[in-house]
Structure 1
Amino acid sequence: MEEKSISDIIEKYLKSILADDEKVEIRRAEIANHFDVVPSQINYVIKTRFTLQNGYLVQSKRGGGGYIRIERVNLIDDVDVLDMLINTIGQSLTENDAFTIVQTLYAEKVISQREGDLMLAALSKETLSVSARQDADRLRARVLVAFLNRLRYES
């Protein structure tokens, strides 16, 4: 039997809640108590598994009545989400992060498998073969932003 990390288990639990609703509000301490982990473990899972690149919008409110709101976003219907995704990319993007974004676009049916494959080929380190990795990451970010801007105006 395959062993899963506690992060995988927490992620699966939160995604099962999101399967019923597009949006969920949780209290970090309650989830931490439920899984008998420290609250920072919940932060880690949310920060690494529920990113905009993965199709989630996360908002939080601190304090006594605080919460963490996780919302599944539909990339094709929400131009604002594509704008936020473009802003998230910024000036530099690793190949792994680019792969995650393209994978999410495919999963959300924003692009076809063939389009995703073409995008991945254009964003690969082999294609962007430049001497400095930082230059490749900057070029990759510009290329993916151009793809996303083009997708924003597709009907």
Structure 2
Amino acid sequence: MRISGASLQYQVKVDAGIDLNKRTAYQVIDDLVQLEYGNFEAEYKKVASLLEEFATKNPTSFTAFEARDGKFHRAFLMNPHSGRIQTNCQQILGTNGAHTKHKLHEGKVLILIARDGDNKNVVLAVALCPSEDCDNYNWFIECRKNGGIVFDNVPLFCDR
């Protein structure tokens, strides 16, 4: 659903003759998005069971989930084919972080990338976490180790 506050204000003015202030327009848009896509906070609570189900159906994968104070904190998912992929890739790895911006989760996506023989990036693992800091990177690296992704004698480049 894509609608701007200004276009909603205009449509309400045309259809109902009501002047809608910008703040109310954006609150209406937020409510419509929640009706369309569900409650984001409730959906984040489903991440743990989604990861468990993924790991059950993909035994060569590795997943991790952490909650704090009953709320989503961070999650890790390793590509189930990472072991085979890594042995056929260049012996170099990279990590990158990307912003996730939403009023209920403003965090980071951490990505572990290998490069194949055609110089194309291959995602080995991803994580959702609150920030791109030492604690979360250490956790991310520990998860990949627990999942079996090997770093021995392989350089790791990081954007931080």
TM-score (norm 2): 0.29
Bigger Cα Rg = 2
Higher relative strand content: 2
Higher relative helix content: 1
TM-score (norm 1): 0.29
